[in-house]
């Protein structure tokens, strides 16, 4: 138990101790790639595409090819893409409508406010990965379009499934490049002859992509640093063991490093889920991946009561958090740390991953303690402004003069006094 871990928790299964990636080696390799792309631009991108992907074709997906890719899309895939895009758009538009400009007169003659401004040019990274996850493009491109970003640049690994390129096109990306890995992040951060420099980079990726985003942060904005996918379920003794096991394995199949778990007040349910997972793994076609994730990163924690269950769930701060209790809505209101919450047994993470409308790009590694997930607001800037009338200067400036003098900032004091003299205002404070 760590120093901050809540009491009243015992384990039926704990994650195995597994050696992690060589982070120092990844950091050094990524730094070299970024420096190479900064110096050599497109030449470096082509070299890495050939080295890592065996690809030596064009960097950009041009207009004629874009149309061909969309026209050749399987009708069922096109229908599913359109359905997901419509749902994500609908929710993003509703979220955008909650963000309004502000104008307020806080004191007589003192006017403050803010504007909500789209980021000009954004870059989205759409990972290739183990599966051609069609929603990956939808979830990063659609909010940018709804936010009103002037230009959306998408990068995908050179051998990404054509349907993923189609997803970028239909969702609204303006330009699309067959560039993957850390070199894609470097290209979007610094620009090359082909790939434009962007203002902020979005999208998940492997350890190299994540490290590249970390290293270019400051040069550009980034959405977040995310690790492998996570799902936890909080449940009492009313939980359905077979359903919970199926949900955990669904997320486990993402990657052998996926973190999956059950937090429950019922040892009997915990034991039943353990048995169900082993049973379902026997026939799951992705059991090689899901089984490794469960073995190495799976967890079942039994808590002494609801309070301990809530406290432990908030300590974990899972990326995806399902609530399966007798009164799931009441339990949900008590939870505060999660990336996205799935209330009741009918609300599966799978629906959000694919098409229901909420964004599954969420904080991992307990990042939900301080951050939410990707949403339309991630593509917007809230920028303040102010303007003063003479009566406002008469109230604010004398305090600024005195405070600046007390701090020894004589230039600040002089700037404030100038306006007082200009307006002929006595600035003595009582």
Catalytic residues: 319-320
DSSP string, 331-388: HHHH----SEEEESTT--HHHHHHTSSS------TTGGGT-----GGGGEEEEEEEEE
> Phi and psi for 56 in degrees, rounded to 5?
-135, 30
Decide: 178 and 213 in contact? Cβ < 8 Å. Answer: no
- Distance in angstroms (rounded) separating the CA atoms of residues 326 and 272: 18
Paired tokens of 52:
């890592």
Decide: 164 and 134 in contact? Cβ < 8 Å. Answer: yes
Decide: 109 and 391 in contact? Cβ < 8 Å. Answer: yes
Decide: 92 and 220 in contact? Cβ < 8 Å. Answer: no
Paired tokens of 404:
């600046």
- Distance in angstroms (rounded) separating the CA atoms of residues 251 and 262: 13
């Amino acid at each position: 138990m760590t120093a901050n871990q809540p009491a009243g928790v015992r384990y039926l299964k704990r994650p195995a101790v597994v050696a992690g990636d060589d982070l120092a080696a990844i950091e050094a390799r990524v730094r070299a790639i970024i420096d190479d792309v900064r110096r050599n631009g497109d030449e470096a991108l082509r070299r890495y595409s050939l080295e890592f992907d065996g690809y030596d074709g064009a960097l950009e997906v041009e207009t004629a090819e874009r149309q061909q890719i969309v026209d050749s899309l399987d009708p069922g895939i096109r229908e599913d893409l359109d359905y997901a895009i419509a749902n994500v758009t609908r929710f993003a538009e509703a979220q955008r409508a909650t963000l309004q400009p502000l104008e307020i007169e806080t004191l007589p003659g003192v006017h403050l406010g803010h504007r909500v401004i789209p980021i000009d040019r954004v870059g989205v990274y759409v990972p290739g990965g183990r599966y051609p996850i069609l929603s990956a493009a939808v979830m990063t491109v659609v909010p940018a379009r709804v936010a009103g970003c002037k230009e959306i640049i998408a990068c995908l690994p050179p051998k990404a499934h054509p349907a993923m390129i189609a997803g970028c096109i239909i969702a609204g990306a303006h330009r699309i490049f067959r560039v993957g890995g850390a070199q894609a992040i470097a290209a979007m951060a610094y620009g090359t002859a082909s790939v434009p420099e962007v203002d902020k980079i979005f999208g998940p990726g492997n350890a190299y992509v994540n490290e590249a985003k970390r290293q270019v942060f400051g040069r550009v904005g980034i959405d977040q640093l995310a690790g492998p996918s996570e799902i936890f379920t909080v449940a009492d003794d009313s939980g359905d063991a077979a359903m919970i096991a199926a949900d955990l394995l669904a997320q486990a199949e993402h990657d052998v490093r996926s973190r999956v778990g059950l937090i429950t007040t019922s040892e009997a349910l915990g034991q039943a889920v353990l048995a169900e997972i082993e049973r379902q793994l026997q026939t799951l076609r992705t059991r090689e991946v899901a089984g490794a994730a469960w073995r190495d990163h799976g967890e079942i924690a039994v808590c002494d009561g609801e309070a301990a269950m809530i406290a432990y769930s908030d300590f974990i701060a899972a990326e995806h958090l399902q609530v399966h209790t007798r009164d799931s809505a009441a339990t949900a209101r008590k939870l505060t740390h999660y990336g996205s919450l799935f209330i009741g047994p009918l609300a599966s993470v799978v629906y959000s991953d694919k098409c229901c409308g909420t964004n599954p790009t969420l904080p991992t590694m307990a990042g939900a303690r301080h951050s939410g997930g990707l949403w339309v607001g991630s593509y917007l800037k809230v920028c303040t402004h102010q303007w003063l009338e003479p009566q406002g200067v008469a109230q604010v400036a004398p305090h600024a003069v005195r405070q600046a003098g007390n701090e020894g900032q004589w230039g600040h004091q002089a700037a404030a006094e100038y306006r007082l003299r200009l307006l002929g205002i006595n600035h003595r404070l009582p």
